[in-house]
Chain A
Amino acid sequence: MTGWVEAIIKIIEWPPLWQLVVLGLIAPLAVVIYILWFERKTAARVQRRIGPYHVSPRIAGGLQLLADLIRYSFQEVIIPKTVDKAAFISAPLIALILSILPVVAIPFTDVPKWFPLPMDYSLILALALVTLSPLFIIVAGWASNNKFAIIGGMREAYLIVSYEIIAILSFLAATAMTGTYNLVDIVHAQTGWKWFIVLNPLAFFTAFVGVLLSTSGFPFEIAESEHEVVAGAFTEYSGLMYGINMGAAYLKRMIYSLLLTVVFLGGWYPLKPGEGFIWGYLAPSIVIFIKATILMMIFSFFRAVYGRYRLDQAIEIAWKILFPLTVIAFGLGLLEAYYGII
């Protein structure tokens, strides 16, 4: 009997499974569900409403999102006759997979035994994987054969060109500071509260706004803004497919938050990974997830405060303000490395 339990624990502990399924899918999904509830609840608080309540009033409507999820799962998925079927169905699924895939390159511990991949070029790998998923949103818009979907897809395309370079460059400022692409080394460089958010706040700011831009958070909720393009590239989707599309954006934001945590917020510090599964892997993961969740909460609070920018304004902000700031942040990182502050 004990043999079975040990075997199951071994399988769960197996880094690819733990990292991909538990840390990559289940935990972000749980966080996303919590964040959606939090977003609705804070917005309601600001707007002097109650927010989700009727499903499970005792825990302040906490199960509302699960109820929504169940409803989405049982809703009929309508596939219009005019769409390109193969692309229409596959695009959101690929986008979902690609938006959680970068988690394989994010270290949740510094014990090499628990790495799913060698971590030598993990930062560049994570950034490369993160930037893939929006392409499939464009594909989804194009395959839908709907004017609003195509406009939404094109908006996404416009936004990609403006945020991608900002997001990548501001994350790479950490590389400029430490001279390595290894995320574990980047975390190690932040020991003793030398978090990169303190050393290079500019890079954190640009990365933060870049993430907002890329995951269509307010005030950059442009590609699927309801009052112009209905639901953007997802206009023709229904049921679970629509849920996947919406969830993918939040999962992507979660992955970005994890990356922000590792690069700028000191990763698993103040905790030091120790021996064994619990202290070596589980506890650091929890620390990173808590930090990322706080970031997510900040992201979602903007919904209650801001409206949305116009597309051209967002692109203008990205190129005229954020891009120079990013270059300055990168230079700041190089200077700090040169003078040995790191």
Chain B
Amino acid sequence: MSGIVRGTVGFNDLKLPGAWTRKIGKDLYEVFIGPQHPGSGHMRIIIRVDGDIIVEAEPDMGYVHRTMEKLSEVRTWIKSIPLFERMAIHDACNVTLPYVRAVEKLLGIEAPERAKYLRVLLCEINRIAAFLYGFGIFGVFLGHSTMYMWPFGDREVWVELAEWLTGARLTHTYPVFGGVRRDVPAGFTDALRKAIRYMRRRLEDYRKIFVDNPVIRSRLEGVGYIPRNLAIELGITGPNLRASGVKYDVRMNHPYEVYDQLDFEIPVFQEGDAYARVLQRVEEIKQSLRILEQVADWLDKHERSPILHDRFWKTAPPLYKKVFQEQGRAKLMAVYAILKVPKGKAYERGETARGEISYYVESDGKNTPYRVRIHSASARNALVYKYILPGHRVMDLPAIYGSIDYFPPEADR
């Protein structure tokens, strides 16, 4: 090194292993946003700016890659559920549900109806919590500290509900093959209804301080416009896709669990800009609240019944069944630990808060998966930065980054 410091004259002449240089356009200024930058997550966006205008942008992902797909090949089937949850811990049920369903498909079983409702219940609780998390990050990106604190505080309501239901605040491991782990505790639906009422009131507050705030509106309107055809071409998904005018939601187009029996709408916005994505998420929270209301009604009407498929439920000792009838808790049976899944391939998809997630699961008949391929929503959405950032100003970067609601651990897997 001989005392030459990075960034000074002479550094680029050093031919160090790994030190490489490349030419960038004349008069362009290359700025590395991330991975240790307060405005980026665990990712890097390399932008080249001409004055204040971004000319090129390269999303550089993979800083939190945890080899999940490979790790799953050495773990038993049930142990992969807590592993995959780590992709998006605040959206744990949504993220792992397609995997559970794919394995159920291979096993040739289906969860009982009550378990399906319970899965939907936790899915929607997770979805709301994940949206609120995204709102918080988005708020602080725009310098709006109140919008950072409020959703994070209100997210607590849903996290607590999830904890009451499953025993864990974030990584619930709630859906298991053939059902779910626990039944609703007594008094849960009343608390749920209270939370729904509270959330509706708070959404009105958010509208007043954030969504209708003139400063926020002027920052977001017309910024980060994703045209409809570009959205389809890049294969972006979730609220970002729907805010660009494409009515596609896995819950509606390929219904799973009991979504086809519930009454809800898929909101669609045509504008495709960052502001439309904010409104889209607000509307989606409202729809999730609607779903939760219906689930609460269903749960009130129906008596407690087994929440695991008969194949597993019949192996439960009488004590387990007694505890379940009294407290709603079902301990996992020993058969899960030695579960062998028949040979075959299965593909399942689900709608997470950030979009469509799909699992391809292949089994060779052993007690570990042969291959699990995950295609997560954030990985698909991250591409969009490359195409929509150029032409915007540097100050638009946090607005666009936040509006996409990109979550690096989910993308990197």
Contact = CB atoms under 8 A, between A and B. Distances in A.
Given A82-B5, A226-B38, A311-B52, A305 B141 contact: no
Contacts of A49: 149, 153
Given A226-B39, A230-B37, A310 B395 contact: yes
Contacts of A306: 143-144, 213, 215
Nearest to A303: B145
Contact of B215 (A145, A151, A307): A307
A43 interface: yes
Contacts of B8: 82
A312 B393 contact: yes
Given A82-B8, A145-B7, A307-B216, A222 B395 contact: yes
7 contacts: A48-B150, A49-B149, A148-B31, A221-B143, A309-B215, A309-B219, A312-B395
A307 B210 CA distance: 9
Nearest to A148: B31
A226 B145 CA distance: 12
Nearest to B149: A47
Given A147-B29, A230-B38, A219 B146 contact: no
A225 interface: yes
Contacts of B209: 305
Contact of A310 (B150, B213, B393): B393
Interface string B126-145: 00000000000001111111
Nearest to B139: A307
A82 B7 contact: yes
A147 B140 contact: no
A227 B143 contact: yes
What 8 A-B pairs are tightest by C-beta distance, nearest first?
A227-B39, A47-B149, A308-B143, A307-B144, A307-B142, A227-B398, A310-B395, A307-B143
B146 A305 contact: yes
A148 B150 CA distance: 30
Nearest to B152: A47
Interface of A: 43, 46-49, 81-82, 145, 147-148, 151, 218-219, 221-222, 225-230, 303-313
B253 interface: no
Contacts of A304: 145-146
Q: How large is the interface on B (under 10, 10 to 19, 20 to 34, 35 or more residues)?
A: 20 to 34
B395 A307 contact: no
Interface string B376-413: 00000000000000000111111000000000000000
B173 to A, nearest CB: 31
Nearest to B147: A307
B5 to A, nearest CB: 5
B138 to A, nearest CB: 10
B218 interface: yes
Given A48-B150, A303-B145, A227 B38 contact: yes
Contacts of B393: 310-312
A81 B5 contact: yes
B396 A310 contact: yes
A228 B215 contact: no
A229 B39 CA distance: 8
Nearest to A218: B143
Contacts of A147: 29, 31
Contacts of A307: 139, 142-144, 147, 213, 215-216, 219
B218 A309 contact: yes
A222 B395 CA distance: 9
Nearest to A314: B395
